[in-house]
Amino acid sequence: MSASPLAANTAPAFLTVEEAAELLRVNRKTLYEAIRLEQVPGVARLGRILRIHRDTLLTWSPGNSRPALGDKKP
């Protein structure tokens, strides 16, 4: 993680996985797994590069209609 916490209002429009994990306060590996299981909205794939749309992530309500981060789909 970076030295200073990432503030939601100063973050760029698209976040790296590390920045998004910091914003969500979850482990980076947990977020990668949730992305792999298609549990995270707003993910853009550019070849091998992943970026997550900040506004989509901030308005996302995990747990309402999808499994929790790291939980597998039934």
Domain that holds residue 42: 14-51
**Is 28 contained in some domain?**
yes
**Is 30 contained in some domain?**
yes
Question: Cα(43)–Cα(4) distance, rounded to whole angstroms?
Answer: 24
Name the domain count of the chain. Answer: 1
Condensed to tens digits (0 to 9), the pLDDT of residues 16-45 reads 999 999 998 999 999 999 999 999 999 999
> Percent of the chain beyond pLDDT 70?
69
**Is 36 contained in some domain?**
yes
Amino acid at 39: Q
Contacts (Cβ under 8 Å, ≥6 apart) of 70: 30, 33, 34
**Is 39 contained in some domain?**
yes
Q: Which two tokens stand for residue 39?
A: 């549990």
**Is 35 contained in some domain?**
yes
Residue in the structure block whose two tokens are 């309500």: 61
Torsions phi, psi of 33, nearest 5? -65, -40
pLDDT for the residue 4: 54
pLDDT for the residue 42: 93
